[in-house]
A = this chain, B = another copy of it.
Amino acid sequence: MNTLLLALAGKTYPIVVGNNFVYRKDTWAVLEPGTPIVVITQASIAELYLPVLRAALSDFELLPILIPEGEANKNLTTVTKIIEQLVQREIPRTSKLIAMGGGIVGDITGFVASIYQRGVAFIQIPTTLLAQVDASVGGKTGINFGAAKNILGTFYQPERVLIDAAFLSSLPMREYTAGLAEVMKYGLILDANLLQELLLQSAALKARDETVLIDLIYRCCALKVGIVAEDEQDHHRRMILNFGHTFAHALEAYYAYARFLHGEAVALGMLLALKLGAALGFSANQAVYPGVRNWLQVQGLPVDLPADVNALELINLMQLDKKKAGTNLRFIILEDIGRAKIVSSISALMLESVLKEPL
């Protein structure tokens, strides 16, 4: 069990990474006995893990709230239903909310925690690899409104993050693999040694080796902690975490969020970002490309754009998205392995040529 500290202006909180510790009573001994605890989770996760969590939390007043699965339910209706229960049960400001689940559960719970009684404490227990290495750390909360993704949300930090690799044992293979794309991202943009190791550990990762995974999760979180501490509200340096994501978001939207998991779209987006970096003359992109593509493919991630994709429509989607945000079209590219920067003067012509070249 290893602990990272994320130090921000208003608040410092621990991120604990380990194996089989969330269900130990002593993990919860930091909380005052009797504290009301609300566990927000989904039926599939509750079925497997709520009984053991309940046992570990036997010294507390526990209220579980189940929310429906799926990105389509990450909306104000689900938030309202949670709030209804909190108000009805008179859950006080001194209570703690626990998000036990993947990114959707974390995003919703964090949002509710940030607005209930002007903010109550919440604890992240991410259960997917993607949430463990990315979404659970850094305090971004969000819900969708109609077709507008994450258009409502807050920056609101959890009180602690408990990352337990034991949850990964029940994670479907496709979701696990999607999480690996974000792990690769950290290597590419921030840590050449990590990248090297990922390439070497390809087989162990494919086999979901727990020891290797825990070490990697910890290192990814450590990298994210450094970035968020520097730029909590995503104005400058934190943006490099969007490496591959401008392409990925457009691909997800293009297929109405039905074809690619987020991590899968990120895999393709990173390959496109490497191509773009190469086109801009940063030679590290070409050097690293074949190894990265091969690694993604071995893990089971997509490495070719679907044949039916229309480059111009993708570019339109990217521009539309940025127009709504009131920002210019920005890309994160690699200057070197482990070093990323923001560029904002990419012509549509260059984008088109990158998108039309085979990956």
Interface residues of A (CB under 8 A from B): 9-10, 36, 76, 80, 83-84, 87, 90, 92-95, 111, 114-119, 140-142, 145-146, 148, 150-155, 233-234, 323-327
Report whether A117 and B87 are in contact in the complex, using a CB–CB cutoff of 8 Å: no
Report whether A154 and B92 are in contact in the complex, using a CB–CB cutoff of 8 Å: no
Identify A145's interface contact among B36, B87, B154, B155, CB under 8 A.
B87
Identify A118's interface contact among B90, B117, B153, CB under 8 A.
B153
Report whether B90 and A324 are in contact in the complex, using a CB–CB cutoff of 8 Å: yes
Q: Which residues of B contact A323 (CB under 8 A)?
A: 90, 92
Report whether A326 and B155 are in contact in the complex, using a CB–CB cutoff of 8 Å: no
Report whether A146 and B325 are in contact in the complex, using a CB–CB cutoff of 8 Å: no
**Chain B: CB-nearest residue to A112:** B152
Report whether A152 and B9 are in contact in the complex, using a CB–CB cutoff of 8 Å: no
A-B complex: 9 closest residue pairs judged by Cβ atoms:
A92-B326, A94-B326, A118-B153, A90-B324, A87-B148, A93-B326, A115-B152, A9-B9, A93-B325
Q: A181–B54 Cα gap in the complex (Å)?
A: 50
Closest beta carbon of chain B to A236's beta carbon, Å: 15
Q: Which residues of B contact A150 (CB under 8 A)?
A: 118
Q: A115–B141 Cα gap in the complex (Å)?
A: 10
Closest beta carbon of chain B to A7's beta carbon, Å: 13
Interface centre among A76, A151, A152, A325 (most CB of B within 10 A): A152
Q: A117–B148 Cα gap in the complex (Å)?
A: 10
Closest beta carbon of chain B to A158's beta carbon, Å: 16
**Chain B: CB-nearest residue to A115:** B152
Q: A66–B168 Cα gap in the complex (Å)?
A: 49
Q: Which residues of B contact A327 (CB under 8 A)?
A: 92-94
**Chain B: CB-nearest residue to A116:** B152
Closest beta carbon of chain B to A94's beta carbon, Å: 3
Report whether B324 and A151 are in contact in the complex, using a CB–CB cutoff of 8 Å: no
Q: Which residues of B contact A142 (CB under 8 A)?
A: 118
Q: Which residues of B contact A83 (CB under 8 A)?
A: 145, 151-152
Q: A148–B19 Cα gap in the complex (Å)?
A: 41
Q: Which residues of B contact A76 (CB under 8 A)?
A: 76, 80
Q: A94–B153 Cα gap in the complex (Å)?
A: 16
Report whether A114 and B10 are in contact in the complex, using a CB–CB cutoff of 8 Å: no
Closest beta carbon of chain B to A150's beta carbon, Å: 8
Q: A326–B118 Cα gap in the complex (Å)?
A: 14
Identify A154's interface contact among B90, B94, B115, B151, CB under 8 A.
B115
Q: Which residues of B contact A155 (CB under 8 A)?
A: 118-119
Report whether A151 and B116 are in contact in the complex, using a CB–CB cutoff of 8 Å: yes
**Chain B: CB-nearest residue to A234:** B118
Closest beta carbon of chain B to A175's beta carbon, Å: 25
